[in-house]
Amino acid sequence: MKPENRRRKALDPTHLRVAVIGATGLVGETIVEILSHRAFPLHALDLVASRESEGAPLPFGARTLRIQALDTFDFANVDLAFFALDTSLSEYYVPKATDAGCLVIDNSRAFRMDPAVPLVVPEVNAQTLFQGLERGLFANPNCSTIALAIVLKCLDDLAGLQRVEIATYQAVSGAGRAGLEGLSREAARRLNGLDIEPDAAFSGVPIAFNVIPQIDDFEPSGYTREEMKLVCELRKILDRPTLEVNPTAVRVPVFYGHAAAVHARFRDGLSPKHARAALVAAEGVRVIDRLTPGGYPTPVTHGALQDEVFVGRIRQDLDTPKGLNLWVVSDNVRKGAALNAVQIAERLVKILI
């Protein structure tokens, strides 16, 4: 059977075969956990990682599954695969999976800006899923982009977003296990009065009790690759190719949960009251916005291990009624990666069953 015919036929929820590629990483493990927690309608689940992890156990609900090796895995036996690999590995293995007739949701940046591949935040642009059915490939956005897209889409619908200035404060889990281990190691040494050797995971700069204004490599423009992801991905997801986006991405010594200070300018006037009401009603958003100590979300108190995108500090621009300032927080591994991927899959299943 030709792959394109396999992709277009209805999925059988009683025999849906699913794989998580990169199942031993932070995002992969969280995808497995969320599939179990949300009772995703699968019949069989394959967990796949590098050959070094082959045979290792990983829990899935009440069961224990064993890791299979990526280099010998047969994608023809799978209906849907979640990819949680580095970009270079996705570039190599994703075409093998789609050529075998497997639907793929890829978490890397490899295909995000491909015009033929939908870049999907289900609360924002689920309608674009239909564009990816023929190729069988769907891209999961960057962790900060997902949370910001949900909030900005809501406000764009109200008043016509024209420009957004963003400063992100991103947790070390955005750098994977190496990031978590680097912060733990450095913090322990610093608290014990020992010297710290800068970690390559953070551009050769100490992360413990520090703030680093660089995430990913610099581009000729002076912006980092992480910052340009925000620009390009927000434009694509919001279907606003000329949207003005001015980003700064900062790594902070927090384990889980990205935050962002956002200044948005609109075509029409927009009061904090109307913005707050719209965000309260928005899917996937939780507003915590009280003028009291602690009356706002933080990564530790609200973001970590939660599925919602949290918004607070909603206030008018001091100079114009067409501007708002906001504070946005979300768990970068859950909603910023794993949950969004599973939500894409849930929408696909509804389309194809």
Which SS3 state, helix, strand or coil, does residue 235 take?
helix
- Count the neighbouring beta carbons within 10 Å of the beta carbon of residue 22: 26
- Count the neighbouring beta carbons within 10 Å of the beta carbon of residue 206: 20
8 Å CB contact between 108 and 86: yes
Rounded Cα–Cα distance for residues 339 and 196 (Å): 35
CB-based contacts of 78, cutoff 8 Å, min separation 6 = 17, 18, 19, 46, 97, 100, 102
Please say if 143 is a catalytic residue. Answer: yes
* Tokens describing residue 12: 């059988």
By CB atoms closer than 10 A (0-12, 13-18, 19+), residue 89 is middle
Which residue in the list 102, 154, 258, 302 is annotated as catalytic?
Answer: 258
Give the per-residue SS3 of 177-223.
HHHHHHHHHHHHHHHCCCCCCCCHHHCCCCCCCCCECCCCCECCCCC
State the helix-helix crossing angle for 143-159 and 225-237, rounded to 10 degrees: 40
Rounded Cα–Cα distance for residues 67 and 23 (Å): 8
φ and ψ at 333, to 5 degrees?
A: -85, -35
8 Å CB contact between 329 and 257: yes
CB-based contacts of 45, cutoff 8 Å, min separation 6 = 18, 19, 20, 32, 35, 60, 65
Which residue in the list 102, 143, 154, 302 is annotated as catalytic?
Answer: 143
Strands annotated E in the chain:
17-21, 44-49, 57-60, 63-69, 80-83, 103-106, 137-139, 161-170, 244-251, 258-266, 285-287, 309-316, 323-330
Which element (helix H / strand E) includes 93?
helix 87-99
3-state helix, strand, coil in the chain (%, to 5): 40, 25, 40
Please say if 102 is a catalytic residue. Answer: no
Which residues are known to be catalytic? 143, 258
